[in-house]
Amino acid sequence: MKNNIFPALLFLIIIPIMLFSCGGGAEPDTGNRAERQQVQPPTFNADSAFNFVARQVAFGPRVPNSEAHRQAGKWLTETLGRFSDTIYLQETRVRAYDGTVLNIKNIIGVFQPENRRRILLCAHWDSRPYADYDPDPANHFTPIDGANDGASGVGVLLEIARLISQQAPDVGIDIIFFDAEDYGRHRFSNLPDRDTWALGSQHWARNPHRPDYFARFGILLDMVGASDPQFKREGYSMLYAPNIVRKVWEAANRLGYGHIFLNRDGGFVTDDHYYVNTIRNIPTINIIHQDETTEHGFFPQWHTLGDNMEVIDPITLRAVGETVLSVIYSE
Ligand code: AHN
Ligand code: ZN
């Protein structure tokens, strides 16, 4: 027995050691990270992402303090909680621009908490209390579905969460669904507008779920579900995280999405990433649909009752999802 097992052990132990230590170029994956080839990311399922958008919208407008908001928050916490290693629920009260006290929740899913190399992915899960750009003035103070403005980014991130729970990338991922992004001052109000948007991310940036929290970079998804979108290089993203914009736009180009991720500068948008950049100092970009043919500069149904499931196109969800996956699986 002894005599027979020794050559077998040699074969099992010595040969693999030789293979891994030769470094002759046959195994590029053993080189350093910068030279390393991208791992094949898992396949983004656009129907699954679409379904994650539809499930949110089915609760009704997710306006803070409403029953639909409570129910949607519970479902998002359970759903993200199923995919992630650790879930944090950050509940607080904030004061809106008009004095309304809002009960809000930031929902945070952590993957590989022990990994020190981290990437932050985020979107807002609340929807706007006012359709203040609706063509019909009778609708100006009606809450919106926010299928694109809000739910689309969350839908893409839930699909990404599902995929990374099955096949972990080399980096740790934090997915944050920010609350109360869209409770900003309405267009008929004379009250001051400063810092009235993105209340959930302002709170998180000052009180992160872990006091020493840091990520190499962040990606915010906002309005990533309408047909034929244009993602231009958003102003604050270029100011605070130009290398991340380049990295993401290059990934999109490699995947054949250069007609969506345009190599053109867009406007500056005060959105969740602004506070992640300025308060938490994490270089964070915003992938956001900008359209210079509309009066407000966003997709045509922005802040109208028309921002419902009819505007959601799985092709767009896929383009964004594949791009983000490509970036995180090559880090
Ligand atoms: C402003 O209009 C100042 N910010 C827009 C941010 C936003 C609203 N994103 C989605 N809805
Ligand atoms: Zn909005």
* Nearest atom (ligand 1) to Cα of 124: 10
User: Tokens 């969350």 — which residue?
Assistant: 154
CA of residue 299 to ligand 2 center, whole Å: 11
- Please tell me the residue having the least CA distance from ligand 1 atom 11: 182
- pLDDT attached to residue 30: 38
Q: Quote the domain boundaries for residue 131.
A: 2-14+43-329
Q: Which tokens in the block code for residue 160?
A: 């990404």
Residue 311 domain flag: yes
User: 128 C-alpha to center of ligand 2: Å?
Assistant: 6
182 CA distance to ligand 2 middle (Å): 5
Q: Residue 15: what pLDDT? A: 36
Contacts of 130 (CB under 8 A, 6+ apart): 140, 141, 142, 143, 144, 186, 303
What is the average pLDDT score of the chain?
91
Q: How far is the CA of 206 from the centre of ligand 2 (A)?
A: 22
Q: What is the pLDDT of residue 39?
A: 84
**Exposure string over 288-323, b if 16+ CB within 10 A, otherwise e:** bbbbeeeeeebbebbbbbbbbeebbbbebbbbbbbb
What is the CATH classification number for the domain harbouring 91? 3.40.630.10
Is the per-residue pLDDT at 27 higher than 50?
A: no
pTM attached to this predicted model = 0.90
Q: How confident is the model over 246-301, as pLDDT tens digits? A: 999 999 999 999 999 999 999 999 999 999 999 999 999 999 999 999 999 999 99
Question: Is 19 inside a domain boundary?
Answer: no
Whole-number Å distance, alpha carbon 46 to ligand 1 midpoint, is 25
Q: What is the residue with the minimal CA distance to atom 4 of ligand 1?
A: 270
Asked if residue 331 has its Cβ within 6 Å of ligand 1, the reply is: no
Task: Return d(Cα 92, Cα 200) in angstroms, integer.
Answer: 9
Is residue 94 included in any domain, yes or no? yes
Asked whether 197 lines ligand 1 (CB < 6 A), one says yes
Atom number of ligand 1 nearest to Cα 150: 10
* Nearest CA, atom 6, ligand 1: 271
Does the pLDDT at position 1 exceed 80? no
Ligand 1, residue 296: give the atom nearest the CA: 2
How remote is the CA of residue 262 from the centroid of ligand 2, in Å?
22
**Is residue 153 predicted with pLDDT exceeding 90?**
yes
54 within a domain of the structure (yes/no): yes
- Predicted local confidence at residue 300, as pLDDT: 98
Q: What is the pLDDT of residues 184-225, one digit of tens each?
A: 999 999 999 999 999 999 999 999 999 999 999 999 999 999
Per the structure, the count of domains in the chain is 1
CA nearest 102: which of 207, 187, 202? 202
CA 194 to chain centroid, in Å, comes to 24
- pLDDT tens by residue, 106-145: 999 999 999 999 999 999 999 999 999 999 999 999 999 9
Residue at 171 is within a domain: yes
* Any domain includes 177: yes
Q: Is the dihedral of CA 260, 272, 198, 102 positive or negative?
A: positive
Taking Cα atoms as reference points, which of 252, 234, 137 lies closest to residue 188? 137
pLDDT band at 37 (very low <50, low <70, confident <90, very high): low
Mutate to test the pocket of ligand 1, among 234, 269, 286, 296 (most ligand atoms within 8 A of CB): 269
